[in-house]
Amino acid sequence: MTQPNTDPDFPMRTSASFLATATMQGAGILIIVEGKDNDPYVYSKLIQAGRTSAQVQFAIIRIENVDQSSIGLSKGTSGKHAIINLFKELQRRGELSGRIAVDKYCCLFMLDKDLDDSKAAKISNPHVVYTPNYDIESSLFENTNIVELIAASASADHLTVKSKIKYSGSREVAAIWRDWAALCYANDVLGIGSNIGFKPSKINVPFHDKTDPIALKNYRDSLVSDAYLKGIPETQVDSFIQQGLDIFDSGSFPISFKGKWFYHIISSAVRSHLAPYGFDTGGIDQKMKSSLRSLANYDLILWNELRVAIFEAESRLI
């Protein structure tokens, strides 16, 4: 089976010429990703899980390695905004797929969904694929055994992890910040612009502890005050906070939960509950990132939209 090109030093190129360079390296399907920590490895695993033809090659391209000066962005520009701009430029030129010399190619743009569906901001195009959860890390945590992850990251035995930390799964971990996620949801969807942002929780101290009701009230009141300055009534703020809470109570994995938040909660619990017993908790966040990529079940993560996009891209090239 042909392995996708995941070279992190994929050469800088303009949006007009990088297609030719990529296809010269034998890559038929070009997977453009926004992140550099997890995305290249994770998407290469997902592609291998979802592909149906060994004849078609893939290349994973980090958006920051594309010189986008032709569309008003500088070298090294990264993130979702840069991917969307590159997509729109190639769409305008009719170059989302096609042929260069004798080589066929097809571009797929991988985007974290964030809250785009709640804000009716998703791009509907077969070349654009959104994560099923808030971001790709959320999907990794959703489909990873949390006990195994903690044990591997802290070099601890499973029995101790189960008895001291007692997390049954990722949804239980996420529920600890249920109230904070609801505040962030309301702030983002309503466009209030509060300093709450999607930052780590300020109402769970330490991070793995339950919500402080006084802090929750203070931040809710602060959100209402910021909304008032933008003409958004208190009732609407509370309605969207409740909508955020309902997401957690619906039984499905919370779409408003940022993947990086899991690191904060779990590492806090590990330091509190395992460090006193002599387990290695130094650099636990970085160890967890590495363990997460290794332990995630990619067959479960692979969602239908990505599977269909891979199949359709392969069909264009065979």
Write the single-letter amino acid at 130: Y
> How confident is the model at residue 15, as a pLDDT?
56
Is the pTM higher than 0.85? The answer reads yes
Domain ranges of the chain: 18-131+303-317, 137-297
Q: How far is CA 91 from CA 85, 94, 170, 295, 311, in A?
A: 10, 5, 38, 37, 20
H-state helical runs in 229-278 = 234-249, 259-273
What's domain 18-131+303-317's architecture?
Answer: 3-Layer(aba) Sandwich (3.40)
> How confident is the model at residue 212, as a pLDDT?
98
> How confident is the model at residue 291, as a pLDDT?
96
> How confident is the model at residue 18, as a pLDDT?
66
Q: Is the dihedral of CA 142, 145, 147, 148 positive or negative?
A: negative
Task: Please write the tens of the pLDDT for every residue from 108-131.
Answer: 999 999 999 999 999 999 999 999
The phi, psi pair for 114, rounded to 5°, reads: 50, -130
> How confident is the model at residue 89, as a pLDDT?
86
> How confident is the model at residue 2, as a pLDDT?
44
> How confident is the model at residue 189, as a pLDDT?
95
User: Whole-angstrom Cα distance, residue 235 to residue 278?
Assistant: 50
Element (H, E) at 187: helix 178-189
Please identify which residue in the block is written with the tokens 């926004």. 34
Q: What is the mean pLDDT of each run of 10 residues along the chain (318 residues)?
A: 47 57 74 88 95 88 78 67 90 88 87 94 97 95 96 95 92 96 96 92 97 98 97 98 92 87 97 93 93 95 96 92
Q: Which tokens sit at 162?
A: 């189960």
Q: At what angle do helices 304-317 and 39-50 cross, to 10 degrees?
A: 70
| Start-to-end Cα distance in the chain | 16
Task: Please write the tens of the pLDDT for every residue from 159-171.
Answer: 999 999 989 899 9
Q: Which tokens sit at 117?
A: 């569906």
> How confident is the model at residue 72, as a pLDDT?
61
